[in-house]
Amino acid sequence: MKIAVMGSGGVGGFYGGHLAHAGCDVGFVARGKHLEAMLANGLTIESDTHPAIHLPKVRASDDPARLGIADLVIIAVKLWDLDSVARSIKPMVGPDTAVLSLQNGVIKDDILRAHFGDGAVMGGVAYVSTHVARLGVIKQTGGIQRMVFGEYDGSRSLRAEALLDAFKRTGIDAELSSDIRRTLWEKYVFLVGLSGTTASMRTTLGPVRSNAQTRAFLLDLMRETVAVGRALGVNLPADYADQRLVFADTLSPEMTSSLHHDLEHGNSLEVEWLSGGVVKLGAKVGVPTPCNRAVWDVLALQAGGAKK
């Protein structure tokens, strides 16, 4: 299976590296000094809980056209300017290529369908905490290494089965979803709550959930997201937000979101596709989303990142 990974940072480098280590033909699209390090020294994946992986040589370029047409293109870059990213990967997408985004949010695949058609796009959700620790080195924190993906029509297609087999060879916990739209929204509900509170309040999950007022805000963010999803026909239980709040109580108090991390480091923010996505989708179906609108408004001045 020939795989191309668009974006070789924490998520793309992690999954692409494991697939390459398992014997798949993987090409990485990267840039700058990270690309230079990968070409010079290969790609390393470090973990506190799993054995390290080192690929002494990788196929990588900053030009997607040089990697050629792939059976599968994995998109693992931030969400801003996804239209431009979609245009840039077209040299890797042939008539039978599957396109799988591991980005946050639920709007991403609608954008990709506009470029590649309904049949090309698969849905996917990544459950892993990673970052670029050093040039050419991906660091995983925590023990979770999970991937859920599937066809939007619910079928167990040949390409989905082939990818599942490839992931099984990596040792990553992978599964096919028969309702990938619901799977995406299940992650989205919690991510909207976690990112919206930790970024707007500039703190970790522990203080948010231990204060009655901020805990209620966390729940309200998730309840709005559930209401929008259900209005769009997603098969979420009416009390799903309450279930996620119970889940939040089981997590480390030091847990935070990539949105909060990006805010602290002056990076551009994905808030337009997280809380902002809830607001935009809610407007389409007539569901009020005042809490998510508040998060989007509060972070608007930082959304473009700090000026360098």
Could you give all domains of the chain from N- to C-terminal order, each with its CATH number?
2-178 (3.40.50.720), 182-302 (1.10.1040.10)
Q: How far apart are CA 66 and CA 105, in angstroms?
A: 29
Q: What pLDDT, on the 0 to 100 scale, is given for residue 307?
A: 61
**What is the crossing angle of helices 290-298 and 180-201, to 10°?**
50
28 beta partners:
5, 60
The pTM score is: 0.90
Determine the distance from the C-alpha atom of residue 236 to the mean position of all C-alpha atoms in its chain, rounded to a whole number: 20
- What 3-state class would DSSP assign to 130? strand
Per-residue model confidence as pLDDT tens for the chain (308 residues): 899 999 999 999 999 999 999 999 999 999 999 999 999 999 999 998 899 999 999 999 999 999 999 999 999 998 887 899 999 999 999 999 999 999 988 999 999 999 999 999 999 999 988 889 999 999 998 888 999 999 999 999 999 999 999 999 999 999 999 999 999 999 999 999 999 999 999 999 999 999 999 999 999 999 999 999 999 999 999 999 999 999 999 998 999 898 999 999 999 999 999 999 999 999 999 999 999 999 999 999 999 998 64
Q: What pLDDT, on the 0 to 100 scale, is given for residue 188?
A: 97
Please, what's the b/e burial string for 200-236 (b: 16 or more CB within 10 A of its CB; e: otherwise)? bbeebbeebbeeeebbebbbbbbbbbbbbbbebebeb
DSSP annotation of 169: H
Determine the distance from the C-alpha atom of residue 101 to the mean position of all C-alpha atoms in its chain, rounded to a whole number: 7
Phi, psi of 225 (to 5 degrees): -65, -45
